[in-house]
Structure 1
Amino acid sequence: MKSTKEVLPFAVILLAVNGDINAINQILKHFEHYVIRLSQKTLFDEHGNAYIHVEEETKRMLETKLITAILRFELS
């Protein structure tokens, strides 16, 4: 069974590691759904109904950590 996930091209990773803003944005877009999923929190309204809320502060923190990891990544 083949994976349906697309792999980032090596050229994009190389550019991102070297600080290219467009490549970093492309990586952020690639991981956007995962970051949103990690940022979700289940809350309850006044009637006890559950709903999903995306914590924007958590999302921004995860994106910042991803950018930091990209810029510190060493290709050898």
Structure 2
Amino acid sequence: MKHIFKKPSFYLISSATDGDEKAIEKILAIYDPYISKCCLRSLYDEYGNVYIAVDMELKGRIREALIKMILDFDIPLETEEE
């Protein structure tokens, strides 16, 4: 089964790199399912049963790193050479 993933638009990325909080939250929302999947951990109870859960601490650290990368991202502007 093929999934179609939504990609952030140039305008959204540009707004986020300028520090627009709503744009950053939209980008985080787009990547939230992927981040959650990357943060899955196996937990065991006292009977040895396995449970899969999202490691919220790791998810928070990844979100923080993504926000930092968004704010540090530089969009190169093309200039015409004369």
Q: What is the TM-score of this pair, normalised by structure 2?
A: 0.84
Partner of 2:34: 34
Task: Sort the Cα spacing of 1:46 and 1:34 in 2 relative to 1 into closer, same or farther, 3 A.
Answer: same
- The alignment's C-alpha RMSD in Å is 1.4
SS of corresponding position for 1:53: strand
C-alpha deviation, 1:44, in angstroms: 1.3
Q: Does 1:60 align with 2:55?
A: no
- The amino acid that maps onto 1:51 is Y
* Unmatched tracts of structure 1, length 5 or more: none
Q: Aligned ranges for residues 42-53 of structure 1 at < 5 Å? A: 42-53=42-53
CA–CA separation in structure 1 for the residues paired with 2:26 and 2:3: 20
SS of corresponding position for 2:43: strand
Structure number with bigger Rg: 2
CA–CA separation in structure 1 for the residues paired with 2:36 and 2:75: 27
Number of residue pairs the alignment of both structures matches: 75
- Percent identical among aligned pairs is 35
* Unmatched tracts of structure 2, length 5 or more: 77-82
Q: What is the TM-score of this pair, normalised by structure 1?
A: 0.90
